[in-house]
Structure 1
């Protein structure tokens, strides 16, 4: 995909980045290390000790900030939903102002996020480890859902079926592509792939916008 939102996180292998972990924003650094650890080792190999090692800090640092593994994954999921919205916003910023164009752009951002950050994508929608009763995570997840609702309504839809159709189409594409499926689509040149994805997303638009 083109114009993908940058990951904006330090590389743990960079000594300068490791030094920043000690006197910069340690919480953000631990979240970045946690995402990298999740991507490399998966949920089964994920541990606070390994996150601390990757970040170059004391093994007690993650526990001090997040309590336990669930606390860290919950905080990572909350940040993930904010980054998910940022990926959509990046697409929306360069799309037309019409509600249908904005809705399609949000769908492209959905796919961007899944393709560039598949481990985080799976944490948000396929894992039971984060605690969605947490206030910060609940607010972040709620904001992501409300964005969908607002866009569907702006495009002329208002029913649960409209919301479900748009969400299912965007999420299904994102999930399949992040999993390495849809090879015929994945192997297209960037511009052609984007155009095809946008065309597919338009099939789920509310009738008033699609027409």
Structure 2
């Protein structure tokens, strides 16, 4: 007997793909930086893929890229958490280097293109990492909603979907009754109302029958 592997939710795929793509880019950028860097620190670095770099930045890029690749391979919540954390670091790096641009504190040879890259990638990683995790109104099958501490107090996805389907049926019945009252029902609405009235007659008949049986039982017990 074979067991079916648990289905990966699409939201996890978004987190993993986002982390993996940036991880690959940073590793390639770092490797090219190692090959062309003429110094370890300093603002007069080389340009690789349109971005300034030196030995220190190449090292950091490879380390961060490997962390993102490991997180993408690990998957599930890890890739989301690492992507959001890396996005925050990229944003901070971009703002800090904007302040030290053109000074002796620019030890990673950042140029203006590096700052734009850090800010854009930081926002993108933050969005991808938070996608389907921090937004409100999560769908019933969302893995982060199901794993939330309040998940035990929420209806199961199957129950919520069933409740939503019942609400849709009630809405359809209400619209059918309104159309009947206004005198312009569709054949489908006429069928729904006729079916509901027949069901109500059956319920009333069963209720009356139970009442008769209960009175008979009460009369027999008193005798």
- Please give the TM-score of this superposition, normalised by the length of structure 1: 0.28
Q: Which has the larger radius of gyration?
A: 2
- Please give the TM-score of this superposition, normalised by the length of structure 2: 0.27
